[in-house]
Structure 1
Amino acid sequence: MCRLFAHQPIENYQCETRSLRIGGHGTSIRLEALFWVVLEEIAAGEGLSLGRFLTKLHDEVLDLHGKADNFASLLRCSCLIYLQTQSWAGPKALHQQARADVAA
């Protein structure tokens, strides 16, 4: 099992900072690359662009809690919840690539 984790491409866990607008305000969010892949998959599944999806999520959090502390952590946890609901299938292309890398 550790081979699957240890042999993943370094690109999966390198950090990426993306600049976007949330609620009309410019901001940047720094996440590991693989989280961005999952968030893009979630957004596509909702029929939204990534920016629009993140804005919608941010607005819902504000409505529920009045603030959106540590939004990057909320995004990471959202990815994990999404993957759990997908029976850990994860982003399809990355899942298939990870299996191929381990087999090689």
Structure 2
Amino acid sequence: MCQVFAGQDPARYASTTRRLRLNGQSTSIRLENAFWDTLDEIARNQGMSTPHFLSTLHSEVLELRGEPENFTSLLRTTCLIHLGRSGQTAAVAAE
């Protein structure tokens, strides 16, 4: 069973830092590549760039709940919600 997870391409769980602006503030976000790939897909589906999508998401969270304690965790769970809704969860785990 663990071979499905252990055998995945190490590039998927390697981390990448991207610099961007969230509501005019320059910041950097470090995430595993698999999460960046999913965020890029979500942004593309929304018809916007990834930085624009992240800034929009951050603005909406600020409006609904205030400053998130851990924005990178929010991004990871956003990816999980997206994958669950699109039925890709099992397919992604098998890659």
Tell me whether the two structures share a fold, i.e. TM-score over 0.5.
yes
One-letter amino acid matched to 1:54: L
Distance of 2:80 and 2:8 partners within structure 1: 18
Counterpart secondary structure, 2:19? strand
Pair member with larger Rg: 1
One-letter amino acid matched to 1:41: E
Which whole-Å deviations, capped at 9, do the CAs of 1:28-85 have from their partners, x for residues lacking one? 0010010000000000000010000000000000000121220000000000000000
Distance of 1:59 and 1:69 partners within structure 2: 14
Across the two proteins, how many residue pairs are aligned to each other? 94
- The TM-score with structure 2 as length reference comes to 0.91
In the alignment, is residue 72 of structure 1 matched against residue 77 of structure 2? no
Give the share of equivalent positions with the same residue, in percent: 47
Which consecutive unaligned segments of at least 5 residues does structure 2 have? none
Which consecutive unaligned segments of at least 5 residues does structure 1 have? 99-104
Distance of 2:84 and 2:48 partners within structure 1: 21
Identify the residue that residue 6 of structure 2 maps to in structure 1. Answer: 6
Shift of 1:88: 2.3
Identify the residue that residue 19 of structure 1 maps to in structure 2. Answer: 19
Distance of 2:37 and 2:69 partners within structure 1: 22
CA-based RMSD: 1.7
Shift of 1:89: 5.2
**Residue pairs, 1:1-104, within 5 angstroms:** 1-88=1-88, 95=92, 98=95
Counterpart secondary structure, 1:48? coil
